[in-house]
Structure 1
Amino acid sequence: MSPVSHATSEPRGPGRWVLRFEVHVPYAYEALWPVVTTGDGLLTWLAEARVLERRLGGAVTLHWPDSGATESGEITAWDTERVVEYTLFGQGRIRFHLEPVGTDSTVIRFLNERGGDDAERLDALAGWHDHFELLEAALAGHPAHWPSWTGTRRAELRASYAA
């Protein structure tokens, strides 16, 4: 599994942050779209989609097996095979922008605009980084096995982001 590059974060006013990842994967964007926009795909690396109305303005409820959190919101951007954005009560705005690189690789430009203090920012950076590593494993045919997931890797990542 190739390593995910560290993200950047920038403040957007008191208690507001924008987190950004740029993830390069050796898969065509057509292969990535269902992984970030379908219940079956999301479950392999991110969350269980308890509600997912796949359209602009559609309802979404995601349950994170790793933390036990469940959050609802709506789909606030939908450009088939290019952009999907979920705006969730606790996670804020999460946006996946897929850009093809040739015919067999894709850049995921990810943005998470959210609230929280610095500790929550570090937790979110480590959490997203961990999930993007799980995404790469899922694309390689090794989906997340949530019952065996531990927070060890996430703790390592959090320490790295804090340093």
Structure 2
Amino acid sequence: MSPVSHATSEPRGEGRWLLRFEVHVPYAYESLWPFLTTGDGLRTWLAAADVLERRLGGAVTLRWLNSGTTVSGEVTAWDTERVVEYTVSEHGRIRFHLEPVGTDSTVIRFLNERAGSDAERLDCLAGWHDHFEMLEAALAGHPADWPSWTDTRWSELRASYASFGRS
């Protein structure tokens, strides 16, 4: 069974959303941290980090390799091996909070606070879910094959989120 379950979302004012995921992975947080905070790690499941200053206040530029979207901003939280947060144009606040479970498992509490229409909310829910499945595969030694990526899984996820309404 996938460690990624459906996310929840809640409105945060007109045209603003808070998306939440809780992802359970069978890896110690020390193993997971580089996948969230290094260029090599991020490329395996999320985006190319064209700029990544690994410190609070550092610059970050992420380029999604499946869509070509590029966003820039800064590192707005950095607590080594526990919390990293990027606040970037278009995608808003992206926060990963790691909680160890025993010695060989971690819960990722993920938040994405952003602006957008309801359609964009559904796009993002499906997108993050798809990327978290890619993270699971990358952790298992199977990084994303970006030239072969298609939106088939994303489309399935988006339809699933749309069927839930405002979850």
TM-score (norm 1): 0.99
The one-letter amino acid of 1:25's match is V
1:108 corresponding residue in structure 2: 108
The one-letter amino acid of 2:146's match is W
Deviations 1:106-144 (A, max 9, x none): 000000000001000000000000000000000000000
1:16 corresponding residue in structure 2: 16
The one-letter amino acid of 1:99's match is E
Gaps of 5+ in 2: none
Q: CA deviation at 1:3?
A: 4.6
Deviations 1:78-124 (A, max 9, x none): 00000000000110000000000000000000000000010000000
Aligned-partner SS, 2:4: coil
Q: CA deviation at 1:2?
A: 1.9
Q: CA deviation at 1:4?
A: 1.1
Cα distance between partner residues in 2 of 1:12 and 1:31? 33
Is 1:127 the counterpart of 2:136? The answer is no
Gaps of 5+ in 1: none
Is 1:54 the counterpart of 2:48? The answer is no
The 5 Å alignment of 1:10-159 reads: 10-159=10-159
Report if the CA contact (8 A) 2:3-2:25 is conserved: no
> In percent, how many aligned pairs have the same letter?
83
The one-letter amino acid of 1:147's match is P
Aligned Cα root-mean-square deviation (Å): 0.7
Q: How many residues end up aligned between the 2 structures? A: 163
TM-score (norm 2): 0.97
